[in-house]
Structure formats: structure tokens, C-alpha cells
Amino acid sequence: MSESPLLMNPGPVTLTESVRQAMQRPDICHHEQVFFDLLLGIKAKLLDVYPVASRDYEAIVMTGSGTCAVEAMVNSLAPSDSKTLVICNGVYGERMLEMLRVANRPAVALTFEWGEAIDLQRVETCLIDDDGISHVLVVHNETTTGRLNSLDGVAALCQNLKRHLMIDAVSSFGGEWIDFDYWSPLAVAASANKCLHAVPGIAFVLVQRQQFVQQQSYATSLYLDLFCYQKFQQQGGAPFTSGVHALYALDAALDEFYKRSGWQARNQHYRQLASRLREALPAMGMALYLPEDAFCSMITSFHLPEGFNYQRLHDLLLDEGFVIYAGQAALNGVLFRLANMGSMEMADIERLIDVFQEKVCRGS
Ligand SMILES: *Cc1c(COP(=O)(O)O)cnc(C)c1O
């Protein structure tokens, strides 16, 4: 087991043994009661990650990667007869804008530099100037750079100006605070294989229950229609073949999540690991790409070390047993990223720091 490299990419993550073992549970059909029980159990456990969500939300579970959940949210809930504002400060905001474009939905983009903080003044101006905007899409943790977008202000503006907020929380769900009460988002999309530490293949959207009663779906896709899943899932059913083994893994990962005291404990553990990296690497010449207090708990972006392009750094670290992650698009030549989710302890971080010391920074 120790032969496979430690995954420091932002999902999929290195699994714990109990999650890996869970995938060995019996093969089942998604039209049988055992499946319904499994799915209903997972739906309830997902709402319990932030317990206040149980009051007003339903978790819609889908087979697909994180993008599947985000696109299902966008495709089913972004109206065709009013505009959706997308706040972009990285790859994933821009991806939601693209989803609106391919679905032919009226969209307005509010774009910041990748990594730049969201300027609330500009959000407010957008919303006040254009009363055709009914919905707002935002990414919680922009994995592109690791900036944790502060959503208190965005959510307050949405509430005061009566707009519906929808959040891509794929890389924050289970690892950061999501305020279902105060932010009261219409929907939050996430996936199993990031802060929840399960395998890729299952994604989910928490949607305000009322939405299914009062509204119709805007979906222009059969597979991505949340309303269709919602009907089937009342009794635990699924409209399409489900990733049964990935659901087993998620079920076990959620049990482990609760056994280890939930998102706060996970956040604290991540913060400890990340803090050590954020102190050690800059001291060796790899500066943080963002101000330290802008970062989320689960990923950090660093400037590439002197004399290394990304590929060279990647290959060297892979030889030492670590998978790291590149910057996207123009950031490829500028930074590299280290995620600290999954089965990872401080000893792993210390070993990585030693490798940097011995193999990367020798002579500097
Ligand atoms: C990982 C991620 C996604 C989804 O990516 P997939 O590759 O489809 O799993 C979406 N948004 C954010 C912020 C992410 O970090």
C-alpha cells in the first residue's frame, strides 16, 4: 500500500482502509430495497454534515463527478427567462458561465483576476443596476488558487436584494463552514471525492425543498434534471444506474467523518497540515501565491521554485512518492498546488518538506 504515491492533488484523495474496504460490500441492483436503504441513508447523512440543512434542504445524489452536480444545479435551476450573474475569480466560476452558455441561459459575468478577492461593491452595483438578474452563481473555494471566497457578504447582498444564491462548494463541502441558515442558498453542489474523502463517481446537490414544490425544472438535459432525481429519490430509487460501489465508499466515508467529529475537526486537521506547508515552503523560496489569510484549509498554491518548471518539479516529487498539481491555463508556468485532503498525517507533510529540502532546494 505504501507503494502508491500520496495524492496531493485536489481530489481524488488517498483513501483510508475502511473506505477502500467498503467497496467490497455485496453487488446490488439499484431497483432493490437494499439500494433504497443505502441511498436514503446517504441522503440523510449528507444533510447532517451541516445539521441545520436538514430543516429546509434535500440532498439530490447523482452518479458523476463534481462537474455533474454543478451542471445539474445550473441546468435545472438557472432560469431561461431571467438572468443569472456568475461571479468569476478562477477556473470553476468560468466553467459555470460556460454551462449557462451551452444551455442558452441569459447570463451576466462579473469577472475578477484569478485569485483576486470578490469586490462586494461591484457585486452590489451589478445587482442594483440590472433588475433582470434573479440568480447568482459563485464558487466557495476557488480551487484554481485556493482562495476561499468569503460568502457572508455575497449572501447578504443576495438576501437584501432578493436574488437566489447558488454555490459551487465542490472543494469546501465537509471541510469549511457553509452557512445554510444565514446564507440560505437556493442550492449547493458538491462531490464525494474531495473533503468527504470518498471515491470519485458520486456528486450531490443540496436544494431547498420548497423549490421542488413551487417551481418547475428549467433542465434542458435528461440526465442532469434534479427534479427527475428528486421524484425517484423520495423512496430511495434512482432514475438511472447508480455507482453502487462509489455509494458504498461514500457511506463509509460519511461514517468516518462523523466518527472523527465532523467538519470542524476536519477543518482543524487540514489547517494544521496546510500551516506547516505554508511556513516551510516560503522559507525555502517558494512564496505563497495568495496572502496567507486568503487561503482555504485544503489547498495551497505556491510559486514554482527557482530553476524548476512544473513538469520537472512534478516528476521529481512523483519519484519520491507525492502527486502534486499544476496551475491551470496561464498559471501553469507560475505556480504549483498542494492539497492536504484525504488520508494524510503530519508525518507525510514532514516527509514532503524533507524532500523539498534535500532535492529541490539544495544549494539555495
Ligand atoms: C473539483 C472541483 C469541481 C469539479 O471537478 P470534477 O473534476 O468534475 O470533479 C468543481 N468545482 C470546484 C471548485 C472544484 O474544486
Which residues approach ligand 1 with their CB closer than 6 A? 10-11, 65-67, 70, 92, 139, 143, 168, 170-171, 191
Cell digits of residue 10: 485536489
Q: Which residues contact 267 (CB under 8 A, 6 or more apart)?
A: 175, 176, 177, 297
φ, ψ of residue 121 to 5 degrees: the values are -55, -45
pLDDT of residue 1: 42
The pLDDT score that the predictor gives to residue 242 is 97
Residue 149 CA, ligand 1 centroid: distance in Å? 15
CB burial class (10 A; 0-12, 13-18, 19+) of residue 33? exposed
Ligand 1 centroid to residue 190 C-alpha, Å: 8
Q: Atom 2 (ligand 1): residue with closest C-alpha?
A: 170
**Ligand 1 atom closest to residue 64's alpha carbon, by position in its atom list:** 8
pLDDT in tens for each of the 364 residues of the chain?
Answer: 457 999 999 999 999 999 999 999 999 999 999 999 999 999 999 999 999 999 999 999 999 999 999 999 999 999 999 999 999 999 999 999 999 999 999 999 999 999 999 999 999 999 999 999 999 999 999 999 999 999 999 999 999 999 999 999 999 999 999 999 999 999 999 999 999 999 999 999 999 999 999 999 999 999 999 999 999 999 999 999 999 999 999 999 999 999 999 999 999 999 999 999 999 999 999 999 999 999 999 999 999 999 999 999 999 999 999 999 999 999 999 999 999 999 999 999 999 999 999 999 874 4
Confidence (pTM): 0.97
**Does residue 293 come out as left (phi exceeding 0), alpha (psi in the -120 to 50 range) or beta?**
alpha
The pLDDT assigned to 323 comes to: 98
Task: Assign 3-class secondary structure to 272-306.
Answer: HHHHHHHHHHHHCCCCECCCHHHECCCEEEEECCC
Backbone angles phi, psi at 257, to 5 degrees: -55, -45
- Of 170, 224, 340, the residue with max ligand 1 atoms within 8 A of its CB, to mutate for a pocket test, comes to 170
- Please report the pLDDT score of residue 3 as a whole number: 74
Q: How far separated are the first and last CA of the chain, in Å rounded?
A: 34
Give the residue carrying C-alpha cell 463509509. Answer: 252
Cα 1 to averaged position of ligand 1 atoms, centre (Å): 27
**How crowded is the C-beta side of 306, counted as CA atoms within 13 Å?**
8
Q: For residue 48, report the distance from its CA to the centre of ligand 1, in Å.
A: 22
* Among protein residues, the one whose CA lies closest to atom 12 of ligand 1: 170
Other Cβ atoms within 10 Å of 4 Cβ, number: 9
- Distance of CA 299 from the midpoint of ligand 1 (Å): 13
Q: In this structure, what C-alpha cell is assigned to residue 73?
A: 444545479
349 CB burial (10 A radius; 0-12, 13-18, 19+): buried
- Nearest ligand 1 atom, CA 171: 15
C-alpha cell at 326: 499544476
Atom of ligand 1 nearest to the CA of 193: 9
* Total H helices, total E strands in the chain: 13, 14
| Ligand 1 center from residue 66 Cα (angstroms) | 5
Contact 266, 195 (CB under 8 A): yes
pLDDT of amino acid 362: 72
Mutate to test the pocket of ligand 1, among 86, 88, 142, 143 (most ligand atoms within 8 A of CB): 143
